[in-house]
Chain A
């Protein structure tokens, strides 16, 4: 079984400040990890993903995430927040196997203050 925990359902940062959204996963086999973003009244869009190889993954819009196996974490960061980053962010995990089902965390609402 696999699961995802996102710490903090709401995160507020000032424009230009560091963005840090936390994600921890649970999986008995090597995971594939994803971050998706959902803008208001829209579907989900992939920000970045980790499958194998380099543990620091760079995505779109200046976001990156680091896979830390020892901490079972995949936190999302961006050095400088922009107003347009305000959205809901979802961490997700899937594993190998016949279904490769994607399991989502509960989401983190990011607010960017002027």
Chain B
């Protein structure tokens, strides 16, 4: 059983298109995250939701909109894709952001390529 799953694994699209990446966790966790990993492997948090409520919203263009229909799902919608959006996007979850030292469990990543 996959703990944190993402679809699709690969996404190739043209500039200007709108795309979505889906994430689901079956761990019963309260908190979910989206990270962006650039070509130099640098990982930066984008968003965090705790029980469907937005907690962290880093400096991310408003073309990126997270949506959490329930606490097991956190989807990422991207409008008007740009070349610089090409990266690997990771979803993660943790038991509860408020618990000290909560481990984050990561999905396998979605490699987005914008042409």
Contact = CB atoms under 8 A, between A and B. Distances in A.
Interface in B87-115: 90, 92, 97-98, 100-109
A38 B109 CA distance: 11
Interface string A18-51: 0000000000000010101010011111100111
Interface of A: 32, 34, 36, 38, 41-46, 49-52, 88, 90, 94, 96, 98-104, 106-107, 109
Given A41-B109, A100-B97, A101-B56, 7 more contacts: A44-B90, A44-B92, A46-B104, A101-B48, A102-B45, A106-B41, A106-B42
17 contacts: A43-B107, A44-B106, A45-B106, A50-B101, A51-B100, A52-B100, A90-B43, A99-B48, A99-B55, A100-B97, A100-B100, A101-B48, A101-B56, A102-B45, A103-B45, A107-B43, A109-B41
